[in-house]
Amino acid sequence: MVEEMVGTSSVMLTQGQIRDILIETGAFRKGHFLLPMGKHTNHYFQMPLALRYFNYARTLCVGLSRLLRVDPKVTSALPRCSVVGPASGGIPVAFGVREALNADQIFWVEREEGHLSFRQFAEVKPGDKCILVDDITFFGNTMQELVKLIQGSGGIILAIGVIVNPGLAGTEFGDIPFYSLIDIKTDLYDESNCPLCKQNVPLVKVRI
């Protein structure tokens, strides 16, 4: 059982063990999936299935925090910095990473009327040093929007960290360092050239 390896946050997991956690919890699934954008894919991620377990969530967030600590800008800013994540998947990651890094506080942003925004009276101020986190980055759109929101508020982004990077989008965010706990290459197909369709693998419609 993977659970035996995550009894304490001091455990440093290998890529294989991280993958095992995601598979065991159902957060990482292999098959034939239809995404809302109409593309077919061989992998599907539902990260809340892993983050609902305290030990798993703590272990994954501690692992991500260790990657972030390697960055000298992050290390020099701690503890006077904020961890920011998008709702809803980024919220448990923000809490977990903040605790592991002993950072000052967290913020989260929500989508209202099609745009990301802070809760009223709770927002990043000019000069605030921020670490952006999320459970997964699919196509990078949400993280790009979050970067613009923070920079537009005058915040200083030290680094970006996600638990899973499926490799579906570029991870270039200008000069902002990007860290992922695990990279799992995921393929996208049009229906017309999907090899899974040709193999008659049952298609499951999913949300992201």
- pLDDT at residue 13, rounded to an integer: 78
How far the first Cα of the chain sits from its last, in Å, is 28
Mean pLDDT by 10-residue block, N- to C-terminus, for the chain (208 residues)?
A: 47 86 97 95 95 96 96 96 94 97 95 89 93 92 93 96 85 86 93 96 93
- pLDDT at residue 9, rounded to an integer: 47
- E-strand ranges in the chain read 28-34, 40-45, 82-86, 105-112, 115-118, 129-136, 156-165, 178-183, 188-189, 204-205
> What order of strands is seen across the sheet that includes strand 28-34?
188-189, 40-45, 28-34, 204-205
Distance set, CA 91 to CA 24, 95, 96, 146, 184 (Å): 22, 6, 9, 14, 22
Question: How much is the pTM?
Answer: 0.90
